[in-house]
Amino acid sequence: MNLSRFLCGLVLAAVVGLVARPALSQDYPTRPIRLLVGFAAGGATDTTFRKLGELAAKELGQPIVIENRPGAGATLAPSTMAKADAPDGYTISAATAGLLRYPYMQKVDWDPLKDFTWIAGLGGYTFVLAVNADSPIKTAADFVAYAKQNPDSMTVATAGAGTTMHLLAEALAGMADVKITHVGYKGSSEAVTAVLGGHTKATVDAIGTILPHVQSGKMRVLLTFDAQPVASLPGVPTAKSLGYDLVYPAPYGLVGPKGMPPAIVDRLYKAFKTAADSDEYKKLLVTLGQTEWQKSPADYQKWASEFYVSERSLVERAKLLRAP
């Protein structure tokens, strides 16, 4: 009799557990959500995710708190989350191309595909090579010529080692057969300040970070890494048009720890999609010079798998592939 009661208790507990899990997903979220961003405050990525978080929070009914954790090629934020946080939807992270590249450059204790839940693709960057407006370097050809004549003094600032900006700078230098000295900072704001202050010769960064300084007459853009000329930068050539086979759209999105319940993933996806579809966010994309690029969880994961394979070639061109 006692055994029967015990078995009935186990069955009842199992049933309650199965019922409770969907209920928890349906109630989500019941407290604030942390959104980790792998760049310092003030740059284009930080601005982007602060606005997305603000708009998505209205849909979710809970605040979304931004935490900046720059480092490790913008992978410190998502990789820390993947190892330390529960897949309950209360800690999520911005994801940039670096997440699918860094393992080719450094030995890591996480897997870019297996250790994350891919929630939503949200937008894309346009990257540019720029200099101080007072620089004698007026064109991309001048940049190459200066680097050849001054092989030890062509310094290029970026938002950090291992970032897309770093890889593009190194790849361009490799294709042009010149030497550059990479100077990595904690974020885009610091890199731009270095160029404006004359501490470095050039920078590679997202157009949204550079454009305000171009409009104020303080910086000059030499080329872009888009497939087509950028409307907001009339007369500025693409790297490809100058003979460098370097076209690099860099999408960004949202990830969580592996094993997140589908209902919570769907809730987050719909909230952030609504944010990305809003007129307010689309205006920000124009201001930052970014592009619309949206992916559902399934499509985002599929894209990540394919991009991870292709990303190796950029690391090789930049001569930053780690030894086995």
Instruction: Answer yes or no: is 232 within a domain.
Output: yes
Taking the CB of residue 11, how many other CB atoms lie within 10 A of it?
A: 10
- Is the same domain home to 208 and 223? yes
- Is the same domain home to 227 and 287? no
Position 12 scores a pLDDT of 52
Rounded distance between C-alpha atoms, residue 126 and residue 149, angstroms: 29
pLDDT in tens, 95-115: 998 899 899 999 999 999 999
Domain boundary among 197, 221, 242: 242
Average pLDDT over residues 111-136: 95
Domain boundary among 242, 259, 286: 242
Instruction: Answer yes or no: is 141 within a domain.
Output: yes
Share of the chain above pLDDT 90, in %: 68
Instruction: Answer yes or no: is 119 within a domain.
Output: yes
Instruction: Answer yes or no: is 106 within a domain.
Output: yes
Position 287 scores a pLDDT of 86
Position 23 scores a pLDDT of 47
Position 279 scores a pLDDT of 96
How many whole angstroms from its chain centre is CA 280? 21
Contacts 24+ apart (CB under 8 A), 302-307: 303/121, 303/251, 304/100, 304/112, 304/113, 304/118, 305/113, 307/97, 307/100
Instruction: Answer yes or no: is 1 within a domain.
Output: no
Burial class (CB in 10 A: 0-12, 13-18, 19+), 206: buried
Split into its structural domains, the chain has a count of: 2
Rounded distance between C-alpha atoms, residue 197 and residue 195, angstroms: 5
Query: DSSP characters for 156-214?
Result: EEESSTTSHHHHHHHHHHHHHT---EEEE-SSHHHHHHHHHTTSSSEEEEEHHHHHHHH
Instruction: Answer yes or no: is 20 within a domain.
Output: no
Gyration radius of the chain's alpha carbons? 22
Average pLDDT over residues 121-144: 95
Burial class (CB in 10 A: 0-12, 13-18, 19+), 59: middle
Instruction: Answer yes or no: is 65 within a domain.
Output: yes
Show Cβ contacts of residue 90 under 8 Å, excluding neighbours closer than 6 positions: 29, 31, 32, 33, 34
Position 99 scores a pLDDT of 93
- Is the same domain home to 167 and 264? no
- Is the same domain home to 118 and 254? yes
- Is the same domain home to 62 and 114? yes
- Is the same domain home to 149 and 206? yes
Domain boundary among 192, 219, 242: 242
- Is the same domain home to 134 and 236? yes
- Is the same domain home to 68 and 173? no
- Is the same domain home to 165 and 204? yes
**What 8-state DSSP symbol labels residue 138?**
-
- The model's confidence at residue 310, banded by pLDDT at 50, 70 and 90, is confident
Position 66 scores a pLDDT of 98
Dihedral sign, Cα of residue 163, residue 165, residue 169, residue 171: positive
- Is the same domain home to 202 and 271? no
Q: Which residue type is seen at 68?
A: N
276: domain CATH number? 3.40.190.150
pLDDT in tens, 218-237: 999 999 999 889 888 899 99
- Is the same domain home to 150 and 98? no
Position 303 scores a pLDDT of 95
pLDDT in tens, 18-32: 444 444 567 999 999
The backbone torsions φ and ψ at residue 92, rounded to the nearest 5 degrees and listed phi first, read: -130, 170
Position 316 pLDDT exceeds 90: no
195: domain CATH number? 3.40.190.10
Position 7 pLDDT exceeds 90: no
pLDDT in tens, 250-299: 899 999 999 999 999 999 999 999 999 999 999 999 888 888 899 999 99
Rounded distance between C-alpha atoms, residue 301 and residue 42, angstroms: 29
Residue 171 belongs to domain spanning: 127-242
Question: Which one of 83-87, 166-170, 184-188 scores highest in mean pLDDT?
Answer: 83-87
Position 44 pLDDT exceeds 90: no
Q: Which two tokens stand for residue 21?
A: 């899990």
Average pLDDT over residues 178-199: 94
- Is the same domain home to 89 and 175? no
Instruction: Answer yes or no: is 277 within a domain.
Output: yes
